[in-house]
């Protein structure tokens, strides 16, 4: 089985560059944390997931709509991703971590993304 998620997607690189430019330092893909968050800020106990709208089924988003063909294949596969995401974030919460999901479609405005990062990371 190939991995569903590519580790260095373009939206993720963008978030990394922006966070770095704002002066935040992070670790990447910390495997010991639930869901292996994309950016991890250990001292703050905060984690960021950068999610592709399709793979993670972004609600109310054009890109997040499940495909209309071959639903028997995609439906359960995408549903599993969504359930896994929810489980990971709940586990992080229980461990005292805060997590933020940045959706791919929300990485288009750097200004808004920067504001979001600052709000979350303080």
117 binds Zn ion per the rule CB under 5 A: no
Q: Which one, of 47, 65, 46, lies nearest residue 55 by Cα?
A: 65
Query: Which of these ranges, 10-18, 34-42, 46-54, 76-84, lies near Zn ion under the rule CB under 5 A?
Result: 46-54
Cα-to-chain-centroid distance, residue 101: 5
53 binds Zn ion per the rule CB under 5 A: yes
61 binds Zn ion per the rule CB under 5 A: yes
Query: Which of these ranges, 2-10, 11-19, 74-82, 100-108, lies near Zn ion under the rule CB under 5 A?
Result: 100-108
Residue-level length of the chain: 122
Question: How many angstroms separate the CA atoms of 116 and 100, rounded?
Answer: 9
105 binds Zn ion per the rule CB under 5 A: yes
Question: How many angstroms separate the CA atoms of 36 and 47, rounded?
Answer: 9
Query: Which of these ranges, 11-19, 20-28, 55-63, 73-81, lies near Zn ion under the rule CB under 5 A?
Result: 55-63
Cα-to-chain-centroid distance, residue 86: 11
Residues that bind Zn ion (CB under 5 A): 53, 58, 61, 63, 103, 105
């Amino acid at each position: 089985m190939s991995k569903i998620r590519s580790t260095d997607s373009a939206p993720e690189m963008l978030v990394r560059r922006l966070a770095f430019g704002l002066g935040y330092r992070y670790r990447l893909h910390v495997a010991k944390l639930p869901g292996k968050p994309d950016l991890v800020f250990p001292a703050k106990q905060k984690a960021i997931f950068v999610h592709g709208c399709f793979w993670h089924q972004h609600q109310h988003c054009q890109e997040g709509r499940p495909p209309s063909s071959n639903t028997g294949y995609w439906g359960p596969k995408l549903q599993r991703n969504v359930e896994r995401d929810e489980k990971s974030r709940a586990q992080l919460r229980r461990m005292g971590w805060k997590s933020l999901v940045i959706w791919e479609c929300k990485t288009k405005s750097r200004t808004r993304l920067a504001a979001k990062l600052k709000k979350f990371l303080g």
